[in-house]
Amino acid sequence: MNNGIFETDRHGWAELLPPRQATAPLRGEHRADWAVVGAGVTGLAAARRLAESRPDQEIALLDAREVGQGASGRNSGYAVAVSHFGGGFSRKDIDEYRRVNRINQAGLTLLRERVEADNLACQWREQGFYHAAADSRAQAECRYFCEYLSALDIAHTPLSSNELAARLGTNTYQSGVHVDQGALVQPAALVRGLADTLPANARLHENSPVTRLDHGTPLRLVTPEGTLLADNVLLATNFEAPKLGFLARRLSASTLTGSFTRVLSQEERTSLGSLSDWGVLSLHSGGATVRLTVDGRISLRNTAEYNGGQLLSDAQLKQRQETHRESFERRFPHLAHVPFEFAWSGVEGISRNGTNFFSKAAKNVFIAGGYNGSGVSRGTAFGHALADYARGADSDLVRDCLACAPASWIPPRPLVNIGAYFTVKKRFIGVGLDR
């Protein structure tokens, strides 16, 4: 993971959008009050918060890639308000459940406010999601999940197999629950929109990998074509923080893949039940995430693996697409004739014990990230809170973020690879028909 290479490809949700001109890379010598590294949801929220709370200061936001090509533009598009904690409902953990959900909800609110204020064209649909179970393990999770939702007084509707079939057009699921809170979004359109509407004192430089961070006053960030001196640095670099010397033994990476069908015909869409669009999260941690998007495609993600923090090659994607295909045809046999248009992969930061990262990492350096596959709303909240924390402002949200459990230690190579391999593999135990 420390190779200093920031690979990208043209297989993301960004490819479904019109072409966009990237902002200019950092060239020459620059000075800013704040540097934010990483323009995913975390960095975008941090840069905005800093720019708005310090209107007289300059914020430079640097990203190694183009906006939309990190995990924030490659995810499945669920902005979660209510987390599912697998493995059984535990009354003694209620405070922790509430803490995490407060963070999720803060992020969801921040995103909604931005989408509405700037009228972002990102297919934002805030009507909750389905959590569904096909096989026995997931059905047990469904019972635990309903218990948890009731105990926390979270609005939800348990659904039978027939009710799910009528809404989603598949007989796969034996039980499920609709949770009212949560939004679905076109993730690349969302981050592009957030980037293109930043306040004027936040300057974005894409294709500007920070290859070195020299500590001192000011801090010095080096990119291939430029140098930036900054008083404070916020790292929103997801799983790539170790490339700059942070969290090497705490943060690992998981590479996930999914596929999209072509746009379905009206007749095909009608065969999918009563709703115009929906999203299903599996109640098994290794189960498929399936969406009918607003523009009429089915997207399905069902693989995760350790690949050294890299995207998958075209050949690997082709192989994973067979798993997507199998899962798609099992759910929608009447749509077996519908081809996939393409497959994509994305890399997410994970910790061994499922915690997230939010801290001061060094003098005037702050870091947030590692959301274990659930970072759209949480990352937004973390970014916003990190900006507040770094400028010395206190809030309930900052305190909730600071209360993340410490991350478990990850052993050095080659054990790290084996450990990460098993951490990711473990999530598929007993996945059965939920895949």
Binding residues (CB under 6 A) for ligand FAD: these are 6, 37-43, 62-65, 70-72, 74-78, 80, 209-210, 236-238, 240, 243-244, 256, 258, 301, 346-348, 369, 371, 373-376, 379
Distance between CA 122 and CA 407 in Å, rounded? 34
Written as six digits, the tokens of 32 are 């800013």
Tell me, what amino acid is at 24? A
Written as six digits, the tokens of 365 are 């350096």
Residue number, 141 or 240, with CB nearest to ligand FAD: 240
Q: Which residue is nearest to ligand FAD (CB)?
A: 375
Q: Strand 212-214 to strand 219-222: parallel, antiparallel, or no bridges (unpaired)?
A: antiparallel
Nearest one of 20, 104, 382, 43 to 112, comparing CA atoms: 104
Residue number, 201 or 208, with CB nearest to ligand FAD: 208
Q: Give the nearest distance from C-beta 150 to ligand FAD in angstroms.
A: 24
Beta bridge partners of 59: 34, 202
Phi/psi at 10 (nearest 5 deg)? -110, 50
Residue number, 188 or 268, with CB nearest to ligand FAD: 188
Q: Strand 298-305 to strand 289-292: parallel, antiparallel, or no bridges (unpaired)?
A: antiparallel
CB-CB contact of 349 with 40 (8 Å): no
Q: Give the nearest distance from C-beta 42 to ligand FAD in angstroms.
A: 4
Name the residue with tokens 């900054």.
230
Q: Give the nearest distance from C-beta 305 to ligand FAD in angstroms.
A: 11
Residue number, 242 or 419, with CB nearest to ligand FAD: 242
Nearest one of 179, 174, 145 to 162, comparing CA atoms: 174
Residue number, 369 or 419, with CB nearest to ligand FAD: 369
Residue number, 39 or 149, with CB nearest to ligand FAD: 39
Q: Give the nearest distance from C-beta 34 to ligand FAD in angstroms.
A: 15
Q: Give the nearest distance from C-beta 105 to ligand FAD in angstroms.
A: 13
Q: Give the nearest distance from C-beta 175 to ligand FAD in angstroms.
A: 22
